[in-house]
Structure 1
Amino acid sequence: MLKAHETQLEIDLSALTHNYNYIKSKLKTGTKVLGVIKAFAYGSDSVEIAKHLEKLDVDYFAVAYTQEGVALRDAGVKRPILVLHSQSVNFKTIIERCLEPSIYSDYVLKEFIKTAESLSQNNYPVHLKFNTGLNRLGFSEDEIGDVVSKLENTSAIEVKSMFSHLAASEDPNEEEFTKLQISRFKTIAQKFETQAGYKPWLHLCNTSGIINYPEAHLDMVRCGIGLYGYGNSVEEDQKLKPIATLKSIVSQIHQIKKGESVGYNRAYKAKGDEKTATIPLGHADGLNRIYGKGKGYVTINGKKAFILGNVCMDMVMVDITDINCKEGDEVIIFGPKHSANDLAESANSISYEILTSISQRIPRIFKNE
């Protein structure tokens, strides 16, 4: 590890390689891998992650919104990019930047056809999203006929893939529902193929789906959190490597007497003579105010330092009464040994939230293979 001299996010690209290869090992030969790099690649750096995954020969990328895809194209990323939540205001940009939209409703389908025809497109690739139970985005099974009819009346677009999204693939208590979703999607795909006369690629599995439902790998899988080192279970977390380590330093140490308070609103009052450390990291950096008051800790010299009082915008105070440390010492907020999942669980959250909350003002430092 590189020693921190300020708050920084260290990204280990060798860990990314390990995670990608582990996911690939779960798949049968020929199954494509789509790397999900939305939200700045889960809080890391979408451009650097995309370029590294291109070196590993990933097949596809996915982002949430058009501007995320534009940023990748501006940086020279060449692989196909699926825009998961495409919106009509961006359709011209999507086509101009060679991005590929998710088409998830009758309105979106009509508007994209209109834009594609106005730009004289022929067989522009699109991806049909179907709702099988998440009830977020997607056509219903009943709309297949209308979708096929509109496709038959234009040569401007072609369906590259069909997909859906599993709602609870990480939850063994929801196995029955997940299998129902898989069955629904296969039925939808068969009906579309029968009515349209051809079979697009099919993809359904997220990270937990890849791990838990190999029968649903189909033509391609979409891997997000797994690439970044989290498998949504203790067992799988041990086989993956978190790529990101959030580090900072001890800015100042205070000796606090019994009854003295720490931070805004006097939210913590010392129970005896105590010692605190101030760290240059706060809720503006992604360490949200849900932490503190007994929730969450960092590690200093290998020991737990619990967060005291309210998290400030740019700073946080921790208890170092029993820790031998000095100003300038390194602080680990999360990393391979104290993971983002550990920190998130202390506040009834999930690793996704803390990873994607990391402020863009924090420098990203890369460890190459």
Structure 2
Amino acid sequence: MPKARETVLEIDLNALEHNYRYLRSKVDQSVKFMAVVKAYGYGSDVVGIAKKLVDLGADYLAVAYTSEGITLRKAGIELPILVLHPQSYNFEDLIENCLEPSLYSEYVLREFIATAEKLKQKNYPVHLKFNTGLNRLGFSETETDMVRDYLKGTESIKAATFFSHLAASEDWKEREFTLMQIHTFKRIALKLFDELGYRPLLHICNTSGLINYPEAAFDMVRSGIGLYGFGNEALEDSKLKPIGTLKTIISQIHKIEKGETVGYNRAFKAMKPTKTATLPIGHADGINRQYGNGRAGVIVNGSYAPIIGNVCMDMLMIDITGIDCEEGDEVIIFGGPQHATKFAEKGNTISYELITGISQRVKRVIVEN
């Protein structure tokens, strides 16, 4: 790959393909695959990611909000798109763009039916979400009769899927809880199958679910973080390839004398003569203050260089004492030799937060060899 000449997030579509094929291999080929591309494709490039996933054979895409789905439609993506957290204000736009809503409460179900009837829809595909223990969104088991009555009381919508979300599928200590969720979901679905007279598709497995509980794949699995190269534990991380590498360059090098300070609030004080470099990336780009003051570091010409002082809005400083480098040289924040999970842990957070938090002002570069 060419050396960076500015701050860029390189997105490797070959790594995406590797991850998709690995995850796909975990379940039977008859099981459909829903690729989650919310939050700009987990902080990458949603259109480039979505088009590659279409080429790879994904059956569904999923986004969080209606606006994200509209972006994909405007880019020419025709695959079915599930909107995981739609708001009633956007229902007309959702229908006009042939997006498919997750309906998770009586209010949302009632409002969507009203909108679908107003727009003279018939059998519009919807996805009914059931809460089996995550306690975030979803109908409770006690509300299944109500859901049935709404579905049977209108021709404007038809359930395409029933689904739920596992709370701790990556944690083997919570295996009993996860199995309880799966059992509850199956019980709800079987009851509704009998009463509705038709069988929507079922899905409950997220990335860790399809890896650890492939027997619960049902008709479809959903994968988000796994597609981007993170498996929620070290063994699975080793089998996946992170798609993103965040790079920047050295803007300026300083020689700091003993006793001098660096950055806001003079947070770093040199205990000996020190060579520092200033990089054009900061907390406005997603590298937050929690990584400063030696907690995390970057890679300069193969060597680790700790971040010193407080991270600034548009810049951060690193200690390059003893490292052979010069102004204009490439610096790797995460990716390649520095796994994003390890970088995130140094800031007491998780890879999800790190990669989805990279600002949209950082240039995205698609790489596919």
Q: The TM-score by the shorter chain falls in which range?
A: over 0.9
Q: Distance in 1 between matches of 2:362 and 2:235?
A: 31
Unaligned runs of 5+ in 1: none
Q: RMSD of the TM alignment (CA)? A: 0.8
Q: Distance in 2 between matches of 1:33 and 1:109?
A: 25
Query: Which range is displaced more, 85-94 or 174-183?
Result: 174-183
Q: 2:321 aligns to what?
A: 321
Instruction: Percent identity, please.
Output: 62
**What residue identity is the alignment partner of 1:90?**
N
Q: Distance in 2 between matches of 1:309 and 1:176?
A: 45
Q: 1:41 aligns to what?
A: 41
Q: Distance in 2 between matches of 1:41 and 1:189?
A: 30
Q: Distance in 1 between matches of 2:11 and 2:172?
A: 31
| Cα displacement (A) at 1:112 | 0.2
1:30 and 2:36 aligned: no
Q: 1:75 aligns to what?
A: 75
Q: 1:191 aligns to what?
A: 191
Query: Which range is displaced more, 251-260 or 137-146?
Result: 251-260
SS of equivalent residue, structure 2 residue 128? strand
TM-score with structure 1 setting the length: 0.99
Q: Distance in 2 between matches of 1:126 and 1:46?
A: 23
Kept after mapping to 2: 8 A contact 1:62/1:83: yes
Q: Distance in 2 between matches of 1:307 and 1:265?
A: 15
| Cα displacement (A) at 1:70 | 0.4
**Alpha-carbon displacement from aligned partner over 1:23-75 (angstroms, at most 9, x marks no partner):** 11111121011000000000001111000111111100000000000000011
Aligned pairs for 1:169-318 within 5 A: 169-318=169-318
SS of equivalent residue, structure 2 residue 113? helix
**What residue identity is the alignment partner of 1:323?**
I
Q: 2:363 aligns to what?
A: 363
**Alpha-carbon displacement from aligned partner over 1:222-250 (angstroms, at most 9, x marks no partner):** 00011001111111111111111000001
Q: 2:112 aligns to what?
A: 112
Q: Distance in 1 between matches of 2:293 and 2:152?
A: 60
Kept after mapping to 2: 8 A contact 1:253/1:276: yes
Aligned pairs for 1:44-193 within 5 A: 44-193=44-193
SS of equivalent residue, structure 1 residue 226? helix
Query: Which range is displaced more, 320-329 or 66-75?
Result: 320-329
Q: Distance in 1 between matches of 2:353 and 2:11?
A: 18
Q: Distance in 1 between matches of 2:165 and 2:339?
A: 26
| Cα displacement (A) at 1:2 | 2.2
Kept after mapping to 2: 8 A contact 1:133/1:167: yes
| Cα displacement (A) at 1:323 | 1.1
SS of equivalent residue, structure 2 residue 289? coil
| Cα displacement (A) at 1:190 | 1.1
Query: Which ranges of 4 or more aligned residues in structure 1 deviate by more than 2 Å?
Result: none
SS of equivalent residue, structure 2 residue 177? helix
**Alpha-carbon displacement from aligned partner over 1:246-269 (angstroms, at most 9, x marks no partner):** 000011011111121111111111
1:347 and 2:344 aligned: no
**What residue identity is the alignment partner of 2:274?**
E
Query: Which range is displaced more, 183-192 or 129-138?
Result: 183-192
Q: Distance in 1 between matches of 2:171 and 2:311?
A: 32
| Cα displacement (A) at 1:176 | 1.3
1:334 and 2:331 aligned: no
SS of equivalent residue, structure 1 residue 148? helix
Q: Distance in 2 between matches of 1:156 and 1:340?
A: 45
Q: How many residues align?
A: 369
Q: Distance in 2 between matches of 1:36 and 1:348?
A: 25
Kept after mapping to 2: 8 A contact 1:241/1:336: no
| Cα displacement (A) at 1:322 | 2.1
**What residue identity is the alignment partner of 2:163?**
F
Kept after mapping to 2: 8 A contact 1:170/1:232: yes
| Cα displacement (A) at 1:191 | 1.4
**Alpha-carbon displacement from aligned partner over 1:280-336 (angstroms, at most 9, x marks no partner):** 000000001111122111100111111111100000001111211111110000113
Kept after mapping to 2: 8 A contact 1:126/1:159: yes
**Alpha-carbon displacement from aligned partner over 1:157-186 (angstroms, at most 9, x marks no partner):** 000001001111111221111111111111
SS of equivalent residue, structure 1 residue 259? coil
SS of equivalent residue, structure 2 residue 33? strand
SS of equivalent residue, structure 2 residue 291? coil
| Cα displacement (A) at 1:278 | 0.4
Kept after mapping to 2: 8 A contact 1:145/1:195: no
Q: Distance in 1 between matches of 2:242 and 2:147?
A: 41
**What residue identity is the alignment partner of 1:200?**
P
| Cα displacement (A) at 1:337 | 2.3
Q: Distance in 2 between matches of 1:242 and 1:51?
A: 18
